[in-house]
Homo-oligomer: A and B are copies of this chain.
Amino acid sequence: MLSEGRKKSRVTLLDVARHASVSRATASLVIRKSPLVSTETRAKVEAAMEELGYVYNMGAARLRADRSLTIGVVIPNLVNPFFTELLAGIETVIDAAGMVVILVNSGDIATRQETLLTRMREHGVDGIILCPAAETGPLLVERMVEWDLPLVQVLRRVSDDCDYAGVDYAYGMRQAVNHLAELGHRDIAFAVHGPVHSAYQERIDGFCEAMQARGLDPDNIIRVPNQIAAIAAAADLFTSGSRRSSAVVCFNDVVALGLSAGFYDLGITIGHDFSLVGFDDVADAEAMRPRLTSVATFPVAIGEGAARLLLDRLAQPDLAPRKLVKAPQLHVRQSSAHWNKGDGGRVKNAG
């Protein structure tokens, strides 16, 4: 009830100790739930804290103990639902560990990322989960080591000397390509977009290898724009011209959503006239009509995994670098259908 003048004189641990007639050290032990304190004393101190309206001052504790119970999360993009789910997974685990997330957005710009990492360091975060911006070099990881700042890379990696939580993109691509090949497709395109980074490259490589393993031509890789409306407008790249394809694997579900709209505008029915496979399997895949066949990459689980890697490293700084590479999983829905090679024509949806 001391709301008067709280600003001026905040209740301190010493006040609590005096009120409970114990020493400051004892009060500190109670707060940190040490077993060295008798139940009786503990109760007395807790009552005093309650009565005085004591608020623990993490700032002071962190200065002395050199830990902040704070971790930094650097994400290249806050609008893509994929990153949001990743973030949700991270937040859940960090929160459960009694820690707190400082979130920043690099906008996928390496120079900005520099600034932000410096700022995180000044704020004294205990560690960092980073999805490296495009163009990030491997020196970044070296610097973090020099800074003695525990780091886990997530989704993209720039160095092998550092923890990493991500997705087996090559395996995902293999599933997508095999699925379409088994439906009879031979002219399969790959629609990509966005900045170039390890996850981009792994998807490209995975697509090419999977196509070659099937004896198919892997060269039909087409870049589309970033904005959804522009992607839709680019749909005719796949259905007209010299490189007509009967199916397209998409870099992610954003591309799939855009192309799906574009095909609709062209009067082409997905899952009938043309097959489409997305990547990530965000919520929209199930909401689209026809429903989108997509390769699930489980962003929430990746986020949780990344957070656990970091927690482990904080506990054991000398652990060798670890990798958590999650296997994606194809969800077959309605947007992919049989292709009749016999006459090169279209057959009924078999999804």
Interface of A toward B, CB cutoff 8 Å? 3, 6-7, 55-60, 62-63, 68-70, 78-79, 81, 84-85, 87-88, 91-92, 95, 100-105, 119-124, 146-148, 228-229, 232, 257-258, 260-261, 264-265, 283-284, 286-289
Q: A6-B148, A78-B91 are known contacts; what are 17 more A-B pairs with Cβ within 8 Å?
A: A55-B121, A55-B147, A57-B124, A58-B124, A59-B63, A59-B124, A69-B123, A78-B87, A79-B84, A79-B85, A91-B103, A95-B104, A100-B123, A101-B102, A102-B102, A102-B103, A261-B287
Are A146 and B3 neighbours in the complex by a CB distance under 8 Å? yes
* Consensus secondary structure, chain A interface: helix
CB of A232 to closest CB in B, whole Å: 7
Q: Which of B87, B122, B229, B258 interacts with A58 by CB under 8 Å?
A: B122
Given contacts A62-B59, A79-B84, A84-B78, contact A123 B288 (CB under 8 A): no
6 A-B residue pairs with Cβ-Cβ distance under 8 Å, sorted by A, are A55-B121, A58-B122, A78-B88, A95-B104, A261-B287, A264-B289
Known: A78-B87, A104-B95. Is A57-B122 also a contact (CB below 8 A)? Answer: yes
Whether A265 and B289, one on each chain, are in contact in the complex, defined by CB atoms closer than 8 angstroms, is yes
Asked if A284 meets B286 with Cβ closer than 8 Å, knowing A79-B84, A79-B88, the reply is no
Please, which residues of chain B bring their CB within 8 A of the CB of A78?
A: 84-85, 87-88, 91
Number of this chain's copies in the complex = 2
Q: Could you tell me if B286 and A229 are in contact, using CB atoms closer than 8 angstroms?
A: yes
User: Contacts of A286 on B, CB cut-off 8 Å?
Assistant: 228-229
CB contacts (< 8 Å) of A60 on chain B: these are 63
Alpha-carbon distance A102/B95, docked complex (angstroms)? 11
3 tightest Cβ-Cβ pairs between the two chains A and B = A264-B289, A78-B88, A103-B103
- Do B91 and A105 touch (CB < 8 A)? yes
Taking CB atoms, residues of chain B closer than 8 Å to A91 are 78, 103-105
Q: Nearest Cβ in chain B — how far from A267, in angstroms?
A: 11
Give the complex CA separation of A109 and B79 in angstroms: 24
Distance in angstroms from A273 CB to nearest chain B CB is: 15
Between A59, A100, A288, the greatest number of chain B beta carbons within 10 A of the residue's beta carbon is seen for A59
Residue of B whose beta carbon sits closest to that of A300:
B79
Complex contact A105–B88 (CB within 8 A): yes
A79 — which chain B residues lie within 8 A by C-beta? Answer: 81, 84-85, 88, 283
On whether the beta carbons of A261 and B283 are closer than 8 Å, the reply is: no
Q: Which chain B residues border A100 with CB–CB below 8 Å?
A: 102, 104, 119-120, 123
Beta-carbon nearest neighbor of A68 in chain B: B59
A283 contacts which chain B residues (CB < 8 A)? 79, 228
**Measured between C-beta atoms, what is the minimum distance from A52 to chain B in Å?**
14
Residue in B closest to A56 when the chains form the complex, CB atoms: B122
